[in-house]
Amino acid sequence: MEFREFYQVLGEKIKDGQFCLDEPLQKHTTWKVGGPVDILYRPHDPEECANVLQLAAEYQVPVTILGAGSNVLVADQGLRGLVIVTEGFRKISWEQHQVIAGSGVLLSHLSRLAADQGLSGLEFAAGIPGSLGGAVVMNAGAYGYSMEQLIVNVKTIDLAGKRKEYYQEDLAFAYRYSIFKQRQELITEVKLTFQPGNIAKIKEQMNKYLMMRREKQPLELPNAGSVFKNSRQGAGRLIESIGVKGWRVGDAQISEKHANFIVNLGQAKASEIRELIREVQIAVKEKCGIDLETEVVFLGFEDNRR
C-alpha cells in the first residue's frame, strides 16, 4: 500500500504534530534495532492525535503505538503504515497526593519528581526505562510493587479516534498484564495517587533500588529490560542454571551480568535477538520442561507470537 497520499493529507490538515517519512526505528527503541516505518508521528495534543487516528482509519493505514521503545523488538524490515511515539505527551499536573501525567513522561523521571515532593509509591521505578504509558500497558513493577497499586484512571484514544476513560477496576490488572495488552489503544494520560512519606527515606530507598540495578543489570549496553516473564524459579536464575549465560548470535548476547537480559554489543540485528530468544526457550524447555514466555513484544515479524 502506498501511504504518500495519506502523508500529504496529514500535511494539509495537521499543524501541531511532527511527521517524518521512512524513519529508522532503531532511533526509537532501547535495543537500538529496527527497520524504517513509512510515517512516524510525534503528537503533542490528544485532540489532534484523535484526528490523525480517524484519518488513518479512513485511509486504512495500519497503526502501531511505540511509546518510548522499551520492551519491544522491531523487525529489521521495519513496520508499514503509521507509528506513533508518545514522547510529546509530557504534561504533568500535581494536586496534593495525586498527579495527572502524560503517557510520554519517562517513568524514572516521574518517580524522581514524586520523591522530591515526599510522595511514596513509585520508588520501585528508579532506573526503569520506558514511558508511563508503556508501564501501564505492561503493569510494570519490581520488588513486590507494580503500577496497578497507584492508578486511579487512564485516558486513551482508540484506533477509530474515539476518546475513552478507564478506572482502575476496569483494567483487569495481573502480573505484567492489563486490558491494554488486548486492546490497541493509545494512552494519553494517567492519574496516579501516592502516599505521603519522608523525602529522605523515599530517596534512600530509590537509591538502593538504583544501585541494585546497576550492580545486577547491564545498564551500560542497549537492552529492552527483562526479556522473559519470571517463572517460580525466576527467569534469570533458570536461564543461568542451564549454562547459557553469555550465549551469542551475532552481536546479540545473553548478558554476562543478568541472564534475563539480552544486550546489543554494537551491531545486533533484530533477527539475531529473535533467534537468541528462541534458542533460550528451546534450551530451557529441553532441560527444565518449562515454557518461557517473553515480556518483550514483537513487532513486524511474520510470527509475532511469544
Catalytic residues: 176, 226, 295
Place of cell 496516579: 192
10 Å Cβ neighbour count for 305? Answer: 6
Name residue 142's beta-bridge partners: 145
Would you call 112 helix, strand, or coil by DSSP? helix
User: What's the Cα-to-Cα distance from 224 to each of 176, 262, 302, rounded to whole Å?
Assistant: 15, 8, 21
- Distance, in Å, from the CA atom of 187 to the CA atom of 131, rounded to the nearest integer, reads 11
Q: Which of 74, 60, 64 lies closest to 24 in space, CA to CA? A: 74
Name residue 253's beta-bridge partners: 248, 263
